[in-house]
Amino acid sequence: MRKVTRLARDPQKEMRIIDEAMTEFAANGYHKTRVEDIADNADVSKGLVFKYYESKSQLYLTVLKEATERVMSVADLHVWQNSEDLVAMIINATQYKIKLQLKFQKEFKVLLDAYVRSNQLPEEARHYVKDNLIDNAALQNEITGPVLARIKLKPGVRREDVYEMLNLIQGSYSVKIQQYLAAHPDMNNIEDMDDLIGTLTRYLEIFEHGFSAD
């Protein structure tokens, strides 16, 4: 049988394709992004893009993984783990994530869009989002476990219930934060969001300490 010789990938062209794909997917989402535009902006042929990634869905999956890697490679989990209580943990983490998002705007846009529209994505991308962005219990436990373990709970209160309620509060408030960032695309100073962070602080203090005077 004749051996097929594969041409080696050009690292510079490959990185240009990934960077331009990140830009296009961030701006347009998966379905509205055209491979032709990615190829033109990366100064390569459309055929080369498909030679490297076989399909648009494979390129998109590669971009999702690259976006995750870029963020996680610099993320400091101690921001969560070393907080003294739940309120401090969420406030510290929220401020930190906003700073990361301002630094990695395209990466966060791609990941957030995938998270929101996961059911509309190709199968492999949908599974990646589910396993790594939605149902990543191992990462969530690594992040919040140390703080929850230090808190003495009232009799009858289960840690898993506290954990789930905390995620609900954080998730719903994240929507407000994303709406604010979308409405202020030129924002580059986290202090501009002091009012939002202050409101979240009050909500979390009520959650952790209760609202009844009895």
Q: What angle do CA 117, 135, 95 make, to 5 degrees?
A: 80
State pLDDT tens for residues 164-191. Answer: 887 788 778 877 887 887 787 777 677 7
Whole-number pLDDT of residue 137: 66
Quick check: 78 pLDDT over 80? yes
Q: Over the chain, what is the mean pLDDT?
A: 86
For residues 56-84, average pLDDT: 93
**Which tokens in the block code for residue 136?**
């990543």
Whether the per-residue pLDDT at 16 is higher than 60: the answer is yes
Task: Give residue-wise pLDDT tens across range 98-143.
Answer: 889 889 999 999 998 898 888 899 999 999 998 888 777 677 777 7
Instruction: Give 146's pLDDT tier (boundaries 50, 70, 90).
Output: confident
Tell whether the model's pLDDT for residue 73 goes beyond 70.
yes
Q: What CATH number is given for 11-209 in this structure?
A: 1.10.357.10
140/143 Cα distance (integer angstroms): 5
Looking at residues 32-38, what average pLDDT do you find? 97
Which residue in the block uniquely carries the two structure tokens 């870029």? 70
Query: Are 102 and 187 contacting, i.e. CB atoms less than 8 angstroms apart?
Result: yes
C-beta atoms surrounding 21 within 10 Å? 26
- The token pair at 89 is 């943990």
Task: Please report, for the chain, the start and end positions of each structural domain, with discontinuous segments joined by +.
Answer: 11-209
Question: What interhelical angle do 86-103 and 194-209 show, nearest 10?
Answer: 150
Flag whether pLDDT at 4 surpasses 60: no
Given a cut of 50, whether residue 42 has pLDDT beyond it is yes
